[in-house]
Amino acid sequence: MSQQTEQARTYSENDSLPAITKNITQEKIARYAEASGDHNPLHIDPAFAATTQFAGTIAHGMLVLAYVSEMMTAAFGEAWRARGRLKIRFRGAARPGDTVTASGRVVRVEDGKTVCEVECRKTTGDVLISGEAEVRS
C-alpha cells in the first residue's frame, strides 16, 4: 500500500526518494546470473574471481542498478516505465555479505521533468553507483 501512496505523490526539489535496502548473497548473484544470462565467472565462480583484481565474486552491476530502478518505480510508478531516463556510472563492487541501499533526491523540477540524483552505497559508505534519473511528465 505504501508503494501506491508513493506513486500518487508529487515530488519537489530536495525531496528524498524512498530508499531501498538489500542484502547481497552469492545465492542472489547466482539467481540473477540465471535470469539475466550473464554467467561471467567474476560473478559466479569464486575460484576464478579470487584470481582477479576483486579477489572474490561481485554482484552484477545491473543487479545493483535494479535496486535503483525499484526505488524509481516505488516513487514514480508507471511514469518511470513510460518516461524514465537513467544515466549512471558503476563506481564500486558489491560483494556477498554486503548490505546496499539505493537512495535519491530530487535536484530540480523543470520543463515537465523531475530530475533526481541517485546512488547506491554499501553500509560502509562506499559508493557503488552514482548518477542521474529523470522522469518526464
Partner 1 sequence: MTVSLADLPKGHEFAETTLKLTPEWVAEYVRAAEDEAIGGVPGRAYPPLALAACSIRTLLEQAALPEGAIHVGQELNFSLNSDGEVTLVARARIASRRERQGWVLMGIDLKVATESGKELMSGRATITFPLSGEVSG
Q: For binding to partner 1 (CB under 8 A), which residues are involved? A: 3-4, 7, 20, 22, 28, 31-32, 34-42, 52-53, 60-63, 65-67, 69-71, 73-74, 77-78, 80-90
In Å, how far from its chain's centre is CA 111? 26
Report d(CA 26, CA 106) in Å as an integer: 33
Minimum CB distance to partner 1 smaller for 58 or for 106: 58
Give the sign of the dihedral formed by CA 125, CA 4, CA 66, CA 12: negative
Least CB distance to partner 1 at residue 7 (A):
6
Least CB distance to partner 1 at residue 53 (A):
8
Least CB distance to partner 1 at residue 108 (A):
19
**H or E segment and range at residue 81:** helix 78-83
Minimum CB distance to partner 1 smaller for 79 or for 109: 79
**How many C-alpha atoms does 78 have within 13 Å on its Cβ side?**
1
Minimum CB distance to partner 1 smaller for 65 or for 106: 65
